[in-house]
Amino acid sequence: MSVLTVGISHRTAPVSMLERVSVSGEALVKLLHDVQQDVCVSEAMVVSTCNRVEIYAAVDRFHGALTGISRLLSVHSGVPVEELTPHLYVHYEDQAIEHLFSMACGLDSMVVGEGQILGQVRRALTLAQKQGTVGATLNELVQQALRVGKRAHADTDIDQAGASLVTAGLALAGDLAGRRALVVGAGSMSSLAATTLARAGVTDIVVANRTFERGVRLAASVGGRAVEFSAVPRELAAADIVITCTGGGRHVITPDIVPTGTFLLDLALPHDIDPAVREVPGVTLVDLETIQESGIGWREGDTVDSVRRLVTEELAAFLTAERAAKVTPTVVALRSKAATVVEAELGRLLMRMPHLDRKARDEVAQTVQRVVDKLLHEPTVRVKQLATSPGGDHYAEALRELFDLDPKMPDAVREVEL
């Protein structure tokens, strides 16, 4: 199986297009199953965030899988294929793995180095596991990507390269100390927003969430207070700063309820705040499109370079181990066939020479086994070494052809190992 990535992100599409393609909840689960059920796909995972939708699939045919996945993205988003295709990017095999590793490190984020992507990838894998759409290929790959991402944050200063969408957006709000804030939503991004506000010296933090109990928990964690979701219009009148990230798919703040002089940060996709609020005098609205256009989250430098080197190193190690693992079942199958031949020949020998005592029989058996082991040692060691190079699968194929191995045997060995 080969890994295929088909995606759309802030790097290839405007936020308006990302908003149309955005998928969550039951729609995300439906897309996940539809992809996995494609005739060319055996495993599937969907990473859907506020600035990307990426489908990872284990496939047996590139072109067929690409066509099928692109069509499904079009169907689920309602965006015609011819309109969607120019914004899609495609990675296959080694490039798909490299992209996933880079993404997990935060190198492909709108705010470079942001740590939220690790949790988002982890949640995508967990959902795919619960839905039964991933197997050995994607499980192993994504788990390794998460380890690479953790290493990047532990071994480099990538955390300081961009921080988060929250800090990038609030950087446009000026001094936060002593101001009053309203946080609409209580998910992971809203939690980060509330924590950031508290650390910045915001004196009054109000949390409004559709599930009141979740809002209470978030408000308590930052020394704020929770209100019912219906109280949003009232709380807007007293807030200097408003941050929204509900993921509800419709506008929760409209021009008619926004007072003048308010700073609003909309981190949701689709948008929580009607873009028309920009027409209200004295109101500043910062959304994902604003952050994308400002470039405030992007930082080049030594830290980013060091993470790129780390990704290159981890990619090489992963591919080497993966290629070596692929040839192991063939080596096991060869040794199994050799053992069968030895057993059969020893059986025939003992039938012809029944007078051999136990000691002589053991000596003959050990001698024959040593000869076979010595003959097989060099080719099996060599094929393992050659298998770690690009195109290494061909050496395993040659081994199967030369020794007339049952083509199904390596697969059977691999299934036992799993």
Note down the domain range covering 374. 316-417
For residue 304, being part of any structural domain is answered with no
Q: Mean pLDDT lowest for which of 296-305, 320-329, 341-350, 355-364?
A: 296-305
Beta strands in 149-193 (DSSP E): 180-184
For residue 363, being part of any structural domain is answered with yes
Residue pair 246/184 in contact (Cβ under 8 Å)? The answer is yes
Q: According to the model, what pLDDT value does residue 337 have?
A: 83
* pLDDT for residue 410 is more than 50: no
Residue pair 360/349 in contact (Cβ under 8 Å)? The answer is no
Q: Mean pLDDT lowest for which of 58-72, 162-176, 264-278?
A: 162-176
Q: According to the model, what pLDDT value does residue 70 have?
A: 96
Look at 89 and 378; give whichever has higher pLDDT: 89
Do residues 147 and 245 both lie within one domain? no
Do residues 129 and 169 both lie within one domain? no
To the query of whether residue 40 is one of the catalytic residues in this protein, the response is: no
Count of structural domains within the chain: 3
For residue 308, being part of any structural domain is answered with no
Do residues 25 and 140 both lie within one domain? yes
Torsion, Cα 299 305 307 313, to 10 degrees, reads 160
For residue 310, being part of any structural domain is answered with no
Do residues 141 and 172 both lie within one domain? no
For residue 105, being part of any structural domain is answered with yes
**Does pTM top 0.75 for this prediction?**
no
Q: According to the model, what pLDDT value does residue 416 have?
A: 42
Average pLDDT value for residue range 342-364: 87
Provide CB contacts within 8 A for 331, sequence distance 6+: 380, 383, 384, 399
Q: Mapping DSSP to helix (H, G, I), strand (E, B) and coil, where does residue 394 land? A: helix
* pLDDT for residue 300 is more than 70: no
Tens digit of pLDDT for each residue in 261-296? 999 999 888 889 999 999 999 999 999 888 877 766
Select which of 40, 50, 105, 245 is catalytic: 50
Do residues 170 and 104 both lie within one domain? no
> What is the band of 231 on the pLDDT scale with cuts at 50, 70, 90?
very high
For residue 301, being part of any structural domain is answered with no
Do residues 285 and 336 both lie within one domain? no
Do residues 149 and 38 both lie within one domain? yes
* pLDDT for residue 299 is more than 60: no
Look at 112 and 63; give whichever has higher pLDDT: 63
Structure tokens belonging to residue 377: 């040692």
Q: Mapping DSSP to helix (H, G, I), strand (E, B) and coil, where does residue 232 land? A: helix
The residue among 130, 162, 194 that closes a domain is 162
- One DSSP character per residue, 243-274 reads EE----SS-SB-GGGPPTT-EEEE--SS-SB-
> What is the band of 417 on the pLDDT scale with cuts at 50, 70, 90?
very low
Tens digit of pLDDT for each residue in 12-35? 998 889 989 999 889 999 999 999
Share the mean pLDDT of the chain. Answer: 88
Tens digit of pLDDT for each residue in 174-215? 899 999 999 999 988 899 899 999 999 998 999 999 999 999
For residue 303, being part of any structural domain is answered with no
The percent of residues in the chain predicted with pLDDT above 90, rounded, is 55
Q: Mapping DSSP to helix (H, G, I), strand (E, B) and coil, where does residue 49 land? A: strand
* pLDDT for residue 347 is more than 70: yes
Do residues 11 and 144 both lie within one domain? yes
The residue among 109, 137, 162 that closes a domain is 162
Do residues 17 and 104 both lie within one domain? yes
Do residues 59 and 94 both lie within one domain? yes
How far is CA 162 from each of CA 51, 197, 200, 254, 277, rounded to the nearest angstrom? 15, 17, 17, 30, 28
In DSSP terms, 182 is beta-bridged to 206, 242
Do residues 174 and 151 both lie within one domain? no
The residue among 162, 195, 210 that closes a domain is 162
The DSSP output letter for 346 is H
Domain with residue 249: its CATH number is 3.40.50.720
Q: According to the model, what pLDDT value does residue 161 have?
A: 52
Half-sphere exposure at residue 18, Cβ-oriented, CA atoms within 13 angstroms: 26
Average pLDDT value for residue range 253-266: 94
Amino acid present at 137: T
Do residues 289 and 385 both lie within one domain? no
* pLDDT for residue 162 is more than 70: no
